[in-house]
Chains A and B, each alone.
Chain A
Amino acid sequence: MALDMAKYRRIFLEEAADHLAEISRALLDLEKEMGNVEAIDTLFRMAHSIKSMAASLGYAPVSELSHRLEDRMEGVREAGRVRDPQELSLLFRGLETLEAMVRTVADDRELAPADEGLLAELRATPERAAAAPDPVAADSPEAVGGEPKKVRS
């Protein structure tokens, strides 16, 4: 059975535009109140929905990025709040990248793979990121010599 994928592409563009606008509103709400449960839930659901639609149409970079955003928001949901302004900034970057990807689809241009650095940042939980070795410090003489590592102020 063959589905009319051109029709679904049109629906995707309409729904994705709505969802991205909702994500944008939710992020602005979170900027004011990082524990806004409704905004957290909205962001999670919108990312999930974009992921499913994009996967259905074979837009792998869109699907991958929205999947990472969804996973990140699941962590935020469990924590009950966005951890800090850095995490909020990361979510804004995710939104901007998704918006650019959807514009690429709308313009009928080829999608580039999702930015690996952004995907990695979204994948890293704040705890993991905090626990990860500092690459500069790890290579420093103090680290090599086994001396106590300097703690960032």
Chain B
Amino acid sequence: MARVLIADDASFMRQMIREIIEPEGHEVVGEATNGIEAVDLYKELQPDLVTMDIVMPKRSGIDAVKTILADHPAACVVMCSALGQETLVMEALQAGAQDFIVKPFKPDSVVATLKNALEKAD
């Protein structure tokens, strides 16, 4: 099971992801509320996987994933997107993000996507 960093400015979304993945045995090792924190916490915690929201204050999720992957090419990042963000999702995937999940979250789909991403990153 994986050590996960959740990056999302909305407490609502962070709690929802936590509630979905913890029963699957994953450990949430940290929560970031903006892109700068996401990069800093990644360096500090070296998680197995990051769930990264795209729209965040101070630094976007796209910028954060690019920075993390530039410094840690093996990092496993799953983007959290919403309706109408297809272009940004493509940009993140091209930058090296493993996959994406779409809001509103469907628990089974989130679990399956994270499992696949972790397997691909192995």
User: A interface vs B, CB < 8 Å?
Assistant: 1, 3-4, 7-8, 11-12, 15, 41-42, 44-45, 48-49, 51-53, 55-57, 67, 70-71
CB distance from B16 to the nearest CB of A (A): 7
B82 & A53 in contact (Cβ 8 Å cutoff): no
CB distance from A46 to the nearest CB of B (A): 10
A28-B111 Cα distance, complex, nearest whole Å: 42
- Interface readout for B83-122 with A: 1 if CB under 8 Å, 0 if not? 1100000000000000000011101100100000000000
A132-B61 Cα distance, complex, nearest whole Å: 37
Chain B residues lying within 8 Å of A55, measured Cβ to Cβ, are 82-83, 103-104
Q: Does B23 contact A (CB under 8 A)?
A: yes
User: B interface vs A, CB < 8 Å?
Assistant: 9-13, 15-16, 19-20, 23, 55-57, 82-84, 103-105, 107-108, 111
A52 & B104 in contact (Cβ 8 Å cutoff): yes
B20 & A1 in contact (Cβ 8 Å cutoff): yes
B10 & A15 in contact (Cβ 8 Å cutoff): yes
Chain B residues lying within 8 Å of A53, measured Cβ to Cβ, are 10, 12-13
CB distance from A19 to the nearest CB of B (A): 9
Contact flag A12-B12 (CB < 8 Å), given A1-B23, A45-B55, A55-B103: yes
Chain B residues lying within 8 Å of A70, measured Cβ to Cβ, are 84
A110-B20 Cα distance, complex, nearest whole Å: 28
B82 & A52 in contact (Cβ 8 Å cutoff): yes
A12-B108 Cα distance, complex, nearest whole Å: 22
B10 & A52 in contact (Cβ 8 Å cutoff): yes
Chain B residues lying within 8 Å of A3, measured Cβ to Cβ, are 16, 19-20, 107
| Most interface-central of A8, A51, A52, A57 (chain B CB within 10 A) | A52
A49 & B9 in contact (Cβ 8 Å cutoff): yes
Chain A residue with minimal CB distance to B56? A45
Chain B residues lying within 8 Å of A51, measured Cβ to Cβ, are 82-83
Nearest 3 CB-CB pairs, A to B? A56-B104, A1-B107, A55-B104
